[in-house]
Amino acid sequence: MIKSREFQKLLRNFIIALLISLLISLGLGIISYNTYKNYIISNNAKIVANLIKHNPDKEEEIIKAINNNDGNIEDGYKILEEYNIEKDSLNLIKNTKNLEINIILITVLTSLISIIIISILYFKNLRKFYKKIDMINLYINDVLNDNYTLNLREYEEGTFSSLKNDVYKITNKLREQSENLLKDKKYLEQTLSDISHQLKTPLTSMNVINNLLLDDNLDKDIKKEFLAKNATQLDRIEWLVTSLLKLSKLESGTIKLKKEKVNVSKLVESALNPLRIPIELKNQTLIVEGDKKINIVADYNWTVEALVNIIKNAHEHTKEKGTIKISFEDNPLYVLIKVEDNGEGIKPKDINHIFERFYKGSSNNKESIGIGLNMSKNIIDRQNGEISVKSKLGSSTVFYIKFYKNVV
């Protein structure tokens, strides 16, 4: 509690008020003392004057007696009793009764002033406390009404300042959660819209083919051709759904990518396995170059998935008898994997969008869905990596994949 800035301030104000009241009491006490002393001196002066007036021949003895402090007080009381003068009936005591009353009044007044000063300071600080509490209440009500624009931060020390800053931190977290929920909602809407759009084309095609297949007079060879087309469309739908599920798991964070030592040469070989036959069918030349001892830290299976999509893109956009080259090298900062082809290249207006989901651009490949490169970028970005592309229209395309080392 002593560490509380507000409590320290209240304690300081209390001490100041107490010191002020003590100074006032001391001042009034000094005034009372001087007044009392003046009463005694004046009464003594009157007694001396009366004694000398009635005994002028004994003035010197009277003065000596006053200056002599060796007299016995009890003897003085006895002499007074002989003349029937009681202690309480002395003129001096009668005169000082008013002084006693004054001293009592001064003491009471001093106490009242101290209480008033302390009360004013207390209620002033109490009012500030309640004002701060009301401010926090209003702020919380605004937050509950989804108003996150207010700033409650304070840069002073103290319990209330600490409370305000904590409330502000909670507000920021709630705002971030609200923004993320809104983004997720928009993302879900966009994803559902994209999926609907992507599924619409193959389903429409399949529906038309099925209507044609209902014709009993349809030639068997044509039926086989239509059935083959339906099978292709089903494969496309399956690949689309599977890819979207993978992407959703990645972006939602339900899948945690592993951090394991991966050999790049084996990684490339695994990515090439499903693509070797399609590459051979197009009579394309495949070149793989790189130090077989180079390793990276990554998730093996997901990184293979990323490379498959990139190499597949190179294969699909390279003509027959073209060349696909995959190379990898090591340097102190990162491991670089390059996927090059001498295919049709990418148009300048498309190159900045090729990693966007469902972006097809102006490619001649009508079967492209525009999801593979987006998935690859997503996987690489989540592993301290970076992917970029350079291309010359009608000449070549090069994908640069970097896996950085010791990234915190």
pLDDT for 288 beyond 70: yes
In which band, very low, low, confident or very high, does the pLDDT at 84 lie, cut at 50, 70 and 90?
low
% residues pLDDT > 70 (the chain): 71
From the options 1.10.10.10, 3.90.920.10, 1.10.287.130, 1.20.140.10, give the CATH code of 182-251: 1.10.287.130
pLDDT higher than 80, residue 9: no
- Biggest CA pair distance of the chain: 169
Tell me what pLDDT residue 141 has. Answer: 75
Q: What is the pLDDT of residue 153?
A: 57
Q: How confident is the model at residue 295 (pLDDT cuts 50, 70, 90)?
A: very high
Residue 80 confidence (pLDDT) above 70 = no
Give the right CATH number for 257-404 from 1.10.3720.10, 2.40.50.140, 1.20.120.550, 3.30.565.10: 3.30.565.10
Position 318 pLDDT exceeds 80:
yes
C-alpha to C-alpha distance for 291 and 307, rounded to whole angstroms: 18
Q: Where in the chain are the domains?
A: 5-144, 182-251, 257-404
Give me the percent of the chain exceeding a pLDDT of 90.
23
